Structure 1
């Protein structure tokens, strides 16, 4: 299995995960402090959404990296590939 080679992408993904980690610690604190279940559920949904969007971003970056390496395209083709992958990211973001 290929690895993500773009440092900017890796940094973006790690930052997203760190934010989700902070949100999750907040949920733990809310449970410890006896916050209302609806408030906790709302924050848990936010954590899930953050993780889902990070997963989608990673998947699209992987696709872009692998397709870009395998397809010999000119600048116009690269632009079209980027546009298609942006659409894929939007579509995947709506799945659930």
Structure 2
């Protein structure tokens, strides 16, 4: 089982989740205070985008870590591999 071992990536994901959590608490307050449905929907959309972005980051971290276990380190550091990972990020970002 792969776990998130890269400390920088882990910190990034945690910060993204905390931001989304704060946004979601804000949406709850908006509902409690009777804010308009349009404004609430806009904020929910922002929360979804934040979570989608976090999911993308987690998926890329998983892919990188799995590849690092299968491919020698010197091959992971090539421009071709960096380009492949960048392309995968772009493709995954379009799925959502």
> Does the pair score TM above 0.5?
yes
Give per-residue Cα distances to partners, 1:26-70, cap 9 Å, x unaligned.
100110111110110010011011001100111001101110221
Q: Aligned equivalents of 1:19 and 1:41: distance in 2?
A: 17
SS in 1 for 2:2: coil
Consecutive unaligned residues of structure 2, counting only runs of 5 or more, are none
Q: Secondary structure at the match of 2:54?
A: helix
Deviation, structure 1 residue 82: 2.4
Residue 64 of structure 1: aligned partner: 64
**How far is 1:74 from its partner?**
2.2
Instruction: Please state how far the C-alpha of 1:72 moved relative to its aligned partner.
Output: 1.6
Structure 1: runs of 5+ lacking an equivalent: none
Partner residue in 2 for 1:30: 30
TM-score, length of structure 1 as denominator length: 0.90
Q: Which residue in the other structure is 2:77 paired with?
A: 78
Give the match for residue 45 of structure 2. 45
